[in-house]
Each structure stands twice: as structure tokens, then as C-alpha cells.
Amino acid sequence: MRIQLTLWYTGILAFVLLIFSITTYYYLARATRQRTDDSLAETANSFISNFNAESTDEAQDNAANETARGFRSRDRQVIVYDARRQVVVASEKPENLGLENNWFASSELQPQLTALFASASRSGRAYGNLSLGGKTNIRVLAVAVPVGGQNYIFVFANSLRDQEQALEQAREAFYIAIPIALVIASLGGYFLARKSLAPVVVMGERAAQIGASNLDQRIPVPENNQELGRLAGIFNQLLARLDQSFAQQKRFMADASHELRTPVAVICGESEVTLSQEGRDPAELRESLAIVNDEGRRLTRMVEDLFTLARADAGEYPLVLADFYLDESVNECVRSVRSLATQKGLEVSYQPPAKEIPFRGDEALIQRMVLNLVYNAIKYTPAHGRVQVTVRQNQDKSEIVISDTGPGIPADAQAHVFERFYRVDKARSRDESLNGSGAGLGLPIAKWVAELHGGTIVLDKTNREGAAFVISLPSPK
Ligand code: ADP
């Protein structure tokens, strides 16, 4: 990325410099040419006025000779042509012109001169470039001067050598300055890219070191860099969430194995004792087997609950959606526990809503949720108590309230009852396992089912005598 940024930066700068130098060179060349032409015109004017001062009607050629002889220039030469385009006189050739003597007699130039004479005769004055030896090297100004009724042509020639040299120097300056500027700029660009990306490198290195064993570590948040600071912050939040869910998973695993150990230990202990004693009577054997069977069932339920929660966490629980009446479904649950409650000396009552409540959801799960709560109520309420199940329509939601006259839930435990494996009193929970494993998974499963259906489940804390759970489910539109 650093190299890419530097290359882009240098590329764009090179492009800008190129455009800049081409434009500059173009204007420089134009200004130089203009200057040469202006100064040629000045030379011509002063020569012609000198000539006019010298000339009399009879001796124009002489006047031309005189004026030409007096003409001195560092890099210019004037050649006077008469009406027949014969050279009358040429001023002394200056060293700087860089041409041979009588260069203007060269046959290579004749067609160029003829064209120049023609356009000067037509318009009085004409600028032109003359090429000798294949390259343009002379700038000329031809002026038609009327002499004794005839048109003489005065040609002022100026070497282009100085001009070429100036432009050549400008080109050279660009050839040298541009690469140097680019090298400096790319070094600077690389340095800047490196400096601004340095925090990313540090963040990357730190992130690479973070694994399952040290999820509590965080990525350094670069100061004075809002964008990267935000990125690091988001990364850290992600890490915090991962850390949390990882810790949760670990706790879940630890709790689950801990819970599974008890029934397995009981089964092994009971069967070992039974096997080690020979000649036990059938009643004793039956008793042992009943214990093993009980624990086996508990184990099965616990594994089922764990499996349900694991699938729920993975979002893989296979939902079976159907339309049914909520009140009817809850009533069925109440009916199914009635005999059990009677056995325990409890009274279970069901209070239906004013009107049937049509509902769409997974009926088996809804019943499992209600049963978990009803079984809890029965499990924790002592004999002669009451368990009341109410279904009611409350504005845009349906509520199922399960209340009992049991001991209720202590204030310090209220916040935790929906946590996995949480039990207020382990012995009591295990004691009479009516349903569920007694491992503290009944309420978490109920909560998951309620949330899965877009609802909530809360413990009614205003209830002072016994426990009351309120399930709220959205009414179908
Ligand atoms: P468990 O399998 O232990 O019943 P739950 O998740 O269903 O697990 O319940 C968690 C704990 O909440 C129980 O151990 C119990 O202490 C308490 N609890 C739940 N329902 C009631 C209730 N109706 N009355 C008193 N305590 C309850």
C-alpha cells in the first residue's frame, strides 16, 4: 500500500510537472520569437531611416552602400536587393551569425528568398525562416523599399543561434529539474505514506498476536488519527464481543460437564454397588434399577435441553410454523399437568381470554415454554398451594401469566433466574424432577422461545406471595 500510494503520488506529480513544463516552454518559445521579431523590426526601421537620410535621387545604390557599411551588429546582417533582385550590397557578416560569407548566394536559399521577396512586395514587409543545410537557422525580415520608382528589398537576417540556445537551456533545465523533483517527491511521499500507515502496521501486528487464549488483549488506538482511531475502536469492540461470547461458551461447557457428571456418577455408583453384591432380592434390585432409570431420564432431558440451546445458539433450530389458537394450546398444557398437581395436593386453574387468540408460531416450542413454567410452579409450590395460568389479550399483545403461591424467588436471585444453569437452591431443584433436568435450563429455554416469537418473558417482581412469570407475545396482524 505504501509503494502503491507513492507510485500514484509520483505519477500524478509527474503528469502535473509535464503539463507545467510543456506550457512554460511553449510560452517561453513564443516570447523569445516575438522578441527577436520586434528587435528585427527596430533594426529595419532605423536602417531604413538612415538610408532615407543618405539617399538622393541619383545615388540610391551609393546610399545603400554607405548605410550598409555603417551597419554594425553582433548577430545581424542586412542585404539589399535591387528591383531585379540582384544583391546591391551586404553589410559585414558578424561572427555570431555563424554562417559562411555570401551565404545568401547559396542555391539552396534561392527558392526560399524568391517566396520571401514575393510576399514582401505584396505586403510591404514579411517575416520568414530560412533553412540552410537542412535546418532552420535564420530569421529574416524582408522590407520592400521604394527607390526611384522601383521596389528594392532590404533583407535583415538574424541568427537563431541565441534563441535556440536559450530554449535548449530551458529544455535542459527541465530535463534535470523534473527527475530531481520526482525523486525528492517520491521519497517524501514514501516517507509520508510510511508514517501515516505505521499505526496500521502496529495494529496488524498486535491483531496477529491475539488468539483464543488472550482475547482480553486489545489493539492500540492511535492518537491524533481519527479514521484509524475509529477503526481500532471498532476492532476492539469486536474483540470485546468475541471475548464475551467465548467466555460464555467456556462457562457453558464447564457448567454442562459439571451437571452431566452428577447423574453419571449416580448411575455408575448404584450399578457398581448392585453388581458387587451377589444374591440381592428382586425388590432391592428393582429399587436400584429405578434409581438408575431416574438418573438416565434426567440425563436424557439434560442432553435434550443442551442440544436445544446449542442449536438455538447456532441459529439452527428447525422451526415448524403453524396457525393455532394460543389459548387452546395453553389450556392443553394445563390439562396435561392437572393429575400431577392433584397428586401433589395442588390446585391448578386456567383462566381463558375473553376471545380466542389466533396465533402463528411453533406450537411444540410454545407448549414447551409454558410447560417449563407450569412445571416449575408445581415443583416449587408446597402442598395445598395454588397454580394459576391466565391467558389474556392486552392491546396488541397476548399475555400468558403463570403464578403460584410457592416461596417465590429471592430478590438477589431475581436478576439471574434466566441465566443458564442458575438455580436458587440446587437441592430443591433436583429434588422433584417433574420436567426439565433440574439443571437450571428450563427458564433459559423458555426465554429463548419467547424471543424467537418476537416476545418477552419477565418475572413479575411486584408479586409478593409466590412467583409470577409473564410471557408477552405479539398478536398476529
Ligand atoms: P430448574 O431446572 O432448576 O427448574 P429453571 O431454569 O427452570 O431451572 O429455574 C431456575 C431457578 O429459578 C430454579 O432453580 C428455581 O430456583 C427458580 N424458580 C423457577 N421457577 C420458580 C418458581 N415458580 N418458584 C420458585 N422458584 C422458581
Instruction: Report the nearest atom of ligand 1 relative to the CA of 402.
Output: 23
**384 CA distance to ligand 1 middle (Å):** 19
Domains of the chain listed by start with CATH number: 2-168 (3.30.450.20), 226-313 (1.10.287.130), 323-474 (3.30.565.10)
d(CA 421, ligand 1 centre) in Å = 10
| Residue among 368, 376, 405 to mutate when testing ligand 1 (max atoms within 8 A of CB) | 376
Q: d(Cα 346, Cα 207) in Å, to the nearest integer?
A: 59
Counted residue by residue, the chain has a size of 477
Query: If phi over 0 gives left and psi between -120 and 50 gives alpha, with beta otherwise, what is residue 302?
Result: alpha
What angle (nearest 5°) sits at the alpha carbon of residue 206, between those of residues 205 and 211? 110
Pocket of ligand 1 (CB under 6 A): 372, 376-377, 380, 404, 406-407, 409, 417, 422-425, 429, 436, 438-443, 467
Q: What is the DSSP string of 359-378?
A: EEE-HHHHHHHHHHHHHHHH
What confidence score (pLDDT) does residue 433 get? 47
User: Given the CA of residue 436, which atom of ligand 1 is nearest to it?
Assistant: 2
Q: For ligand 1, atom 23, which residue shows the shortest CA distance?
A: 377
Beta strands in 3-47 (DSSP E): none
> Given this model, what pLDDT does residue 142 score?
94
How many angstroms is it from 266 CA to the middle of ligand 1? 23
Q: How far is CA 202 from CA 121, 197, 207, 230, 327, in A?
A: 81, 9, 8, 15, 60
Cβ neighbours for 39, distance < 8 A, ≥ 6 positions apart? 158
Looking at residue 109, what DSSP letter applies? G
pLDDT score of 269 = 94
Q: How far is the CA of 379 from the centre of ligand 1 (A)?
A: 9
Largest CA distance in the chain: 168
Angle between helix axes 161-209 and 226-276 (nearest 10 degrees) is 20
State in Å: Cα 302 to ligand 1 middle: 15
Long-range interactions of 350-355: CB distance < 8 A, separation 24+: 350/389, 350/390, 350/391, 351/388, 351/389, 351/390, 351/391, 351/392, 352/327, 352/391, 353/327, 353/391, 353/392, 353/393, 353/398, 354/392, 354/393, 355/393
Residue 370 Cα, ligand 1 centroid: separation in angstroms?
A: 13
User: Best mutation site among 423, 457, 461, 470 for ligand 1, i.e. most ligand atoms within 8 A of its Cβ?
Assistant: 423
All three cell numbers of 450 = 419467547
pLDDT recorded at residue 425:
76
Which of ligand 1's atoms lies nearest the C-alpha of 377?
23
Q: Which residue's CA lies nearest to atom 14 of ligand 1?
A: 423
Mutate to test the pocket of ligand 1, among 369, 429, 449 (most ligand atoms within 8 A of CB): 429
Looking at ligand 1, which atom is closest to the CA of residue 438? 2
Q: From the centroid of its chain, how far is CA 227?
A: 11
Mutate to test the pocket of ligand 1, among 262, 380, 412, 459 (most ligand atoms within 8 A of CB): 380
CA distance 159 to 136: 10
Helical H segments across 55-104, by residue range:
60-70
> SS3 breakdown of the chain: % helix, strand, coil, rounded to 5?
60, 15, 25
Angstrom distance (rounded) from CA 464 to CA 159:
115
Query: What is residue 399's predicted lDDT score, i.e. its pLDDT?
Result: 96
Other beta carbons within 10 Å of 271: 14
Show Cβ contacts of residue 47 under 8 Å, excluding neighbours closer than 6 positions.
67, 71, 78, 154, 156
Q: Tens digit of pLDDT for each residue in 54-89?
A: 776 556 777 777 787 778 777 888 998 988 888 888
CA 417 to centroid of ligand 1, rounded, Å: 7
Please tell me the distance between residue 239's alpha carbon and the centre of ligand 1 in angstroms: 33
Ligand 1 atom 7: the closest Cα is on which residue?
Answer: 442
Looking at residue 88, what is its pLDDT? 84
For residue 243, report the distance from its CA to the centre of ligand 1, in Å: 29
Summarised one tens digit per residue, pLDDT across range 27-61 is 999 999 999 999 999 999 998 888 888 776 556 77
The Cα–Cα gap between 401 and 471 comes to 6
Ligand 1, closest atom to CA 466?
24
Residue nearest to atom 11 of ligand 1 (CA): 423
CA of 135 to the centre of ligand 1 (A): 107
- The 3-state DSSP class for residue 395 equals coil
Q: Which residues pair with 129 in a beta bridge?
A: 139
415 Cα to the center of ligand 1, angstroms: 12
Q: Do the Cβ atoms of 331 and 300 come closer than 8 Å?
A: no
- Please give the distance, rounded to the nearest whole angstrom, from the Cα atom of residue 38 to the centre of ligand 1: 108
Per-position pLDDT tens, the chain of length 477: 888 999 999 999 999 999 999 999 999 999 999 999 999 999 999 988 888 887 765 567 777 777 877 787 778 889 989 888 888 888 888 877 777 788 888 888 899 999 999 999 898 999 998 888 777 778 999 999 887 778 889 999 988 888 888 899 999 999 999 999 999 999 999 999 998 888 888 889 999 999 888 889 998 888 888 888 898 999 999 999 999 989 888 888 898 898 899 889 999 999 999 999 888 888 999 999 999 999 999 899 999 999 999 899 888 899 999 999 999 999 999 999 999 999 999 999 999 999 999 999 999 999 999 999 999 999 999 999 999 999 999 888 999 999 999 999 998 999 999 999 888 876 666 655 455 567 889 999 999 999 999 999 999 977 678 999 999 999 876
CA–centroid distance, 441 to ligand 1, in Å, is 9
Which helix (H) or strand (E) segment holds residue 45: the answer is helix 2-54
Residue with CA closest to ligand 1 atom 8: 440
CA distance 229 to 219: 10
Nearest residue (by CA) to ligand 1, atom 20, is 376
